[in-house]
């Protein structure tokens, strides 16, 4: 009787696991089928072309790919140091009376809808960037291509900063749990050798949780790559490739949100679906790379501990 129940439970869980694979395959199949027209018309030019003009039927997704990658990398550059600092404080340094309330507030940021972030970015962040931050950056670092051009407020920098705030609670929460999972013996051993609190964190705690921290960063990157509404409201929505973070841009997700309901012909819709396929491939590839990195770091840590 118990053996029959175990077999039934095994089959149910196996079916649940295989259903995830089935959903991914179905999604990929539908995206490939819907994008056939765009790729047959433009070929590799769809990936390398820089003109996105629905009126004249010309579609090149390179500005969208560029905007997606650059805005996400800017978000990571801003969010990762702050997230790790908060996670280290919560896991290692915060007094007990402050740890739980502050952790709750950080996690609460993840529950705020993206459209709220977009409105805040449009009415608070963008004017601040236009009037204070961008003129200051242009005056002090204007010799760099990243900070050249008129201070518009909206653009790549605004999108990157909004994304950074959105992925901060994800990276912080996961990193905090990883650091809390580090055995206390690691800390005690370093302290017994005469290490300071900072040396203990840097040389015992962080290396031990490196694989989990990398996973947290990749989770944040996945959120940044696919974010739609908040980015659409602050990035400016102009498909162009520019070295300056002050310039307007557009991402794959934002162009789909802006134009999918207004697709007036089959080629336009196919180009949008092809863009969605590119975003699917990018996020899928990022997750594969993340798993490989985590696996490699875990193996190296296991060897070093042995």
What domains, with CATH codes, occur in the chain? 2-305 (1.10.3720.10)
- pLDDT per residue as tens digits for the range 243-271: 899 999 999 999 998 888 776 688 889 99
Contacts of 36 (CB under 8 A, 6+ apart): 270
**Which percentage of the chain shows pLDDT scores above 70?**
95
- The model's pLDDT over 265-296, given as tens digits with 9 standing for 90+, comes to 888 899 999 999 999 998 888 888 777 776 76
For residues 68 and 227, what is the distance between their CA atoms, to the nearest angstrom?
9
d(CA 53, CA 50): 10
pLDDT at 301: 56
Helix orientation angle between 266-305 and 2-34, rounded to the nearest 10 degrees: 130
User: What's the per-residue H, E or C state across the chain?
Assistant: CHHHHHHHHHHHHHHHHHHHHHHHHHHHHHHHHHCHHHHHHHCCHHHHCCCEECCCCEECCHHHHHHHHHHHHHHHHHHHHHHHHHHHHHHHHCCHHHHHHHHHHHHHHHHCCHHHHHHHHHHHHHHHHHHHHHHHHHHHHCCCHHHCCCCCCCCHHHHHHHHHHHHHHHHHHHHHHHHHCCCHHHHHHHHHCCCCHHHHHHHHHHHHCHHHHHHHHHHHHHHHHHCCHHHHHHCECCCCCCCCCCCCECCHHHHHHHHHHHCCCHHHHHHHHHHHHHHHHHHHHHHHHHHHHHHHHHHHHHHHHC
Q: What is the pLDDT of residue 130?
A: 92
**pLDDT band of 188, cuts 50, 70, 90:** confident
What pTM was estimated for this model as a whole? Answer: 0.88
- pLDDT band at residue 84 using 50, 70 and 90 as cut-offs: very high
Beta bridge partners of 58: 53
pLDDT-derived band at 1, boundaries 50, 70, 90: low
Whether the predicted pLDDT of 106 surpasses 90: no
Mean pLDDT over 179-195 rounds to 84
Question: What residue has token string 């990193």?
Answer: 175
Provide the pLDDT confidence category of residue 303 given band limits of 50, 70 and 90.
very low
- Which pLDDT value is given to residue 299? 66
């Amino acid at each position: 009787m118990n053996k029959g129940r175990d077999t039934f439970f095994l089959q149910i869980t196996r079916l649940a696991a295989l259903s995830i694979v089935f959903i991914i395959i179905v999604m990929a199949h539908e995206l490939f089928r819907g994008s056939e027209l765009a790729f047959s018309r433009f070929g590799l030019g769809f990936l390398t072309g820089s003109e996105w003009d629905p009126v004249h039927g010309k579609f090149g997704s390179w500005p969208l790919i560029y905007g997606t990658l650059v805005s996400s990398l800017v978000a990571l550059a801003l969010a990762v140091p702050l997230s790790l600092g908060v996670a280290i404080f919560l896991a290692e340094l915060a007094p007990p009376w402050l740890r739980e309330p502050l952790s709750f507030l950080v996690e609460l940021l993840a529950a705020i809808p993206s459209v709220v972030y977009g409105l805040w970015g449009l009415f608070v962040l963008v004017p601040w960037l236009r009037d204070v931050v961008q003129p200051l950056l242009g005056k002090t670092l204007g010799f760099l291509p990243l900070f050249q051009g008129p201070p518009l407020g909206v653009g790549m920098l605004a999108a990157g900063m909004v994304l950074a705030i959105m992925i901060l609670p994800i990276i912080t929460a996961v990193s905090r749990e990883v650091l809390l999972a580090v055995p206390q013996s690691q800390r005690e051993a370093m302290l017994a050798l005469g290490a300071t609190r900072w040396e203990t964190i840097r040389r015992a705690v962080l290396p031990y949780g490196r694989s989990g921290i990398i996973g947290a960063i990749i989770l944040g990157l996945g959120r940044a790559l696919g974010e739609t509404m908040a980015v659409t409201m602050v990035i400016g929505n102009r498909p162009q490739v520019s070295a300056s973070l002050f310039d307007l841009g557009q991402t794959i997700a934002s162009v789909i949100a802006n134009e999918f309901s207004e697709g007036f012909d089959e080629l336009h819709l196919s180009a949008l679906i092809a863009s969605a396929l590119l975003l699917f491939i990018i996020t899928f590839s990022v997750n594969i790379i993340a798993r490989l990195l985590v696996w490699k770091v875990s193996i190296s840590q296991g060897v070093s501990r042995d």
